Amino acid sequence: MSIKSRFAPSPTGDLHIGGARTALFSYLFARRHGGSFVLRIEDTDLERSTAESVNAILEAMTWLGLEYDEGPFYQTQRFDRYREVIGTLLEQGKAYRCYCSRERLDALREEQLEKKIKPRYDGHCRDRTAPPSPDTPYVVRFRNPLDGDVVIDDKVHGRVVISNTELDDLVIARTDGSPTYNFTVVVDDMDMGITHVIRGDDHLNNTPRQINILEALDVTPPVYAHVPMILGEDGKRLSKRHGAVGVMNYRDAGYLPEAVLNYLVRLGWSHGDQEIFSLAEMVALFDIEDLNAKASSLNVSKLDWLNQHYMKTLSPAHVARHLSWHMGQRGVDPSEGPRLEDVVEIQRDRYKTLAEVADNSVAFYRRPAEYDEKAARKNLKAAAKEPLTELRRDLTAVEDWRREQLHLVVQAVAERLELKLGKVAQPLRVALVGGPVSPTIDSTLELLGQEEALVRIDAALAWIEANAGDA
């Protein structure tokens, strides 16, 4: 049997971290078994679904690199098919028209609540053969079995048995003929040939109803794996209180997709005590049987650690592609300065996230519009005029603009003027990047290039002239 799994988000907001993990597990499962992975957009809730959310989900899937083999399918484009299946179930007597009025249902519910019974439909129209009057509106209900059990051999939670007496006759079409949520999921899983449903365990309650409908349609239900929730760092259910939980918030915060995927896979899945997994390794090792039935909590310091690992070990060209986006966010066009790959090589050991790298790399592409006040007061004073002038002269003469060579020049100026290296390098740094922080002075010079470095030194000298006088 060839395996087919799916990810079926409802586009009512951004793809959040829990959804992304579900998508990852479904993706890995399909890949592991050489099967296919389907993306289905469950957009039948017209009031809550938005095109913006659809785009956000697609963007997040692309950013994570979770490629799907089929889809995206949109449920809103399948209404004819749902109607057709409803027709078949009606014809076969597996569903029936229910003419009960809102008032009757409300009264029933109240009565049940009073008697402290779980509210459920009482089957009033189950055996009705004709409508009360020709134009009475009706819903369509699924004729749920009255006895017996539904057994779910869940791959995460184990065997779950629900008695049919717990379930009532689910509405599968509303009075306007539109299909309801549980029904569309069933028709899609059937039509798309889904063999494995991996989804959040908030859907476990829906599963017995879905299995009953599938069986009525003479389809063998898929295998289910209901994945536990992700909790916040405090062990509480994830909510807005926990800050950004959308996948793209992680991109914005400077994490690489490799780090996010690795982080996500470890929330609920493990392989011995291994922590680092490339996507290929995850594919080779993943199994739903190894999913943890207990909820897992977010752990941001672990994500930081993973991100640093991937920033340091992935190819500079790859990291540069992601850094490029962050530079763009800061209004920087990376083609107008040093090669981003070189920036990556120099900066990646110094920071935890690409956002930090970007913040601290803007200066390579943009001349300081002003100097950090404190740094300027300390370093761009009259006493800096001489070392900067000397540096300017000696750097102009450099023919081989490589950091080893540049290091020697800076050192020679310090020695000649009998100054500590810092008294030469720090004014130079402030001149070059506008503030007190940059990579080593020789690599900063190398990155900027000769022409740009000289322009910036001139600007700093002019600034000293104008601001620090010659005291």
Residues in contact with ligand GLU by CB under 6 A are 8-10, 42, 185, 199, 203
Degrees, nearest 5: CA angle 251-252-258: 15
State the alpha helices, DSSP H only, in 238-277. 247-252, 257-266
Contact by Cβ (8 Å): 394, 431:
no
- List, as one string, the DSSP characters of 364-416: GTS--SS--HHHHHHHSSGGGHHHHHHHHHHHHT-SS--HHHHHHHHHHHHHH
Contact by Cβ (8 Å): 268, 291:
yes
Q: Closer to ligand GLU by CB, 9 or 228: give it.
A: 9
Q: Closer to ligand GLU by CB, 7 or 121: give it.
A: 7
Q: How far is CA 335 from the centre of its chain?
A: 28
How far apart are CB 327 and ligand GLU at their closest, in Å?
A: 34
**Count of CB atoms situated within 10 Å of the CB of 416:** 12
Q: Cα torsion for 162, 168, 172, 173, to the nearest 10°?
A: -170
Provide the residue type at 50 as one letter: T
How far apart are CB 200 and ligand GLU at their closest, in Å?
A: 6
What is the C-alpha separation between 71 and 368, in angstroms, rounded?
48
Give which of 352, 368, 387 is closest to 444, Cα–Cα: 368
How far apart are CB 61 and ligand GLU at their closest, in Å?
A: 14
What is the 3-state composition of the chain as percent helix, strand, coil, each rounded to the nearest 5?
50, 10, 35
What is the C-alpha separation between 363 and 434, in angstroms, rounded?
8
DSSP element (H, E) containing 320: helix 316-329
Q: Closer to ligand GLU by CB, 27 or 99: give it.
A: 27
**Structure tokens given for 404:** 């080893």
Q: How far is CA 435 from the centre of its chain?
A: 34
Q: Closer to ligand GLU by CB, 197 or 319: give it.
A: 197
The owner of tokens 């239900």 is 221
How far apart are CB 280 and ligand GLU at their closest, in Å?
A: 26
What is the C-alpha separation between 284 and 253, in angstroms, rounded?
29
Q: Indicate if 236 belongs to the active site.
A: no
Q: Closer to ligand GLU by CB, 198 or 425: give it.
A: 198
How far apart are CB 6 and ligand GLU at their closest, in Å?
A: 7
Contact by Cβ (8 Å): 439, 407:
no
How far apart are CB 34 and ligand GLU at their closest, in Å?
A: 22
Question: Nearest-CB residue to ligand GLU?
Answer: 199
How far apart are CB 285 and ligand GLU at their closest, in Å?
A: 24
Q: How far is CA 132 from CA 79, 125, 140, 181, in A?
A: 28, 10, 15, 28
> Which residue of the set 115, 118, 240, 420 is catalytic?
240
Contact by Cβ (8 Å): 54, 38:
no
DSSP-derived secondary structure letter, 136: -
Q: Closer to ligand GLU by CB, 8 or 441: give it.
A: 8
How far apart are CB 77 and ligand GLU at their closest, in Å?
A: 16
Q: Which residues are catalytic?
A: 240
